[in-house]
Amino acid sequence: MKRDERQQAIMDLLVEQGSVDLEDLAQRFVVSKMTIHRDLDELEQAGVLRKIRGGATTEAGTQFESDFRFRERRSGAAKDRMTDEALKLVEPGMTVMVNDGSTAAVLGRRLVEKRPLTVITNNAAIMDALRDESGITLIALGGTYSAKFNAYFGVVTEDALDRLRADIAFISVPAVAGMEAFHMDDEVVRAKRAMQASARQSCLLINHTRFERTALHKLCDLTDYTAIITDDTPPQAALDAMAEGGVDLIVAN
């Protein structure tokens, strides 16, 4: 492994973990700590990380932390766990819908594991990822592009969904409270609803930190989902509410 590759690998780790340990890096790449020091120095010079005692972290408050790919890969482990569960619901030959959001993007990319599949999505990241995969029939939902969500929305999206049918839809939301799911943007809500309406069953993906929160628009009731997957145990209050409402929660850990 050459210098450049190692530095790239360090960046990958940094993006994934948010910080890296010097000692650990030296062991991982089987080089001396001095070499790692030099790598980190260069990367710091290039402005992509900040050296701290014993390792390095992502430069706080720069473009980096708000970078889409960054957010996507950060806490990637949790998303991977949720994705593992979600994939269990998918069988080769199915038609699968996936909505916007970085969690959904992670799932979208991993759908290749279940090919052949037909994948319907308005998520630009998924389109990019599955575009050239053989065994995946990619049906993109058109619409007006939203940079904020890196996905397509609007009447075009909704009309297209109205004419398509899928076996399962994977939906993610930023807020769940009680027995209801929420989202801050009404365009997004409409797209998610259209997707759920066109799929035989729907599966909700929700980060455990997002329970007990609301957002401006209510999307639907949790009873609308045939499966709800989260990455870690949510607050007791949330658990109670769902138990009482009679919905099953799959905790992936």
Partner DNA sequence: CACAAAATCACAAAAATTGTGTTGAACATG
Partner DNA sequence: CATGTTCAACACAATTTTTGTGATTTTGTG
Contact residues: a second copy, CB under 8 A: 4, 122, 124, 127-128, 130-132, 137-145, 147, 152, 154-157, 159-160, 163-164
| Beta carbon nearer to DNA, 2 or 163 | 2
From the list a second copy, DNA, none, pick the one residue 109 interacts with, judged by a Cβ distance below 5 to 8 Å according to partner type.
Answer: none
Closest CB to DNA among 19 and 226? Answer: 19
- Distance separating alpha carbons of residues 43 and 4, to the nearest angstrom: 11
- Contact call for residue 55 and DNA (CB under 7 A): yes
Q: Which of 6, 10, 150, 135 is nearest to 71 (CA)?
A: 150
What does 33 bind: a second copy, DNA, none (CB cut-off 5 to 8 Å by kind)? DNA
Distance, CA of 81 to chain centre: 11
Residue with Cβ nearer DNA (3 or 165): 3
What is the closest distance, in whole angstroms, from the C-beta atom of residue 137 to a second copy in the complex?
6
**Of 48-56, 188-196, 217-225, 230-238, which segment contacts DNA by CB under 7 A?**
48-56
Extract the tokens encoding 210.
């997002």
Contact characters 9-28, DNA, x per CB under 7 A: -------------xx-----
**Other C-beta atoms lying within 10 Å of the C-beta of residue 223:** 12
The distance of closest approach from Cβ of residue 10 to DNA in the complex, given in angstroms and rounded to an integer, is 12
Q: Residues 89, 154, 178, 79: is their CA dihedral positive or negative? A: positive
* Vertex 68 angle, CA 173 and 123, to 5°: 50
Of the residues 8, 27, 41, 77, which one makes contact with DNA according to CB under 7 A: 41
- 3-state secondary structure string across 50-89: EEECCEEECCCCCHHHHCHHHHHHCCHHHHHHHHHHHHCC
Binding partner selected for residue 6 from a second copy, DNA, none, CB under the kind-specific 5 to 8 Å limit: DNA
Instruction: Examine residue 37 and tell whether it contacts DNA (CB under 7 A).
Output: yes
Q: Is the peptide bond before 174 cis (omega within 30 degrees of 0)?
A: no
For a second copy, the closer CB: 45 or 132: 132
Long-range contacts for 65-69 (Cβ within 8 Å, ≥24 apart)?
68/102, 68/150, 69/15
Contact region for DNA (CB under 7 A) — 31-39, 134-142, 177-185, 228-236?
31-39
> Quick one: 5 or 244, whose CB is closer to a second copy?
5
Helix (H) or strand (E) holding 217: strand 217-221
**From candidates 12, 27, 47, 52, binder to DNA by CB under 7 A:** 52
At residue 1, the 3 state secondary structure works out as: coil
Question: Rule CB under 7 A: which residues touch DNA?
Answer: 2-3, 6, 22-23, 30-35, 37-39, 41, 51-55
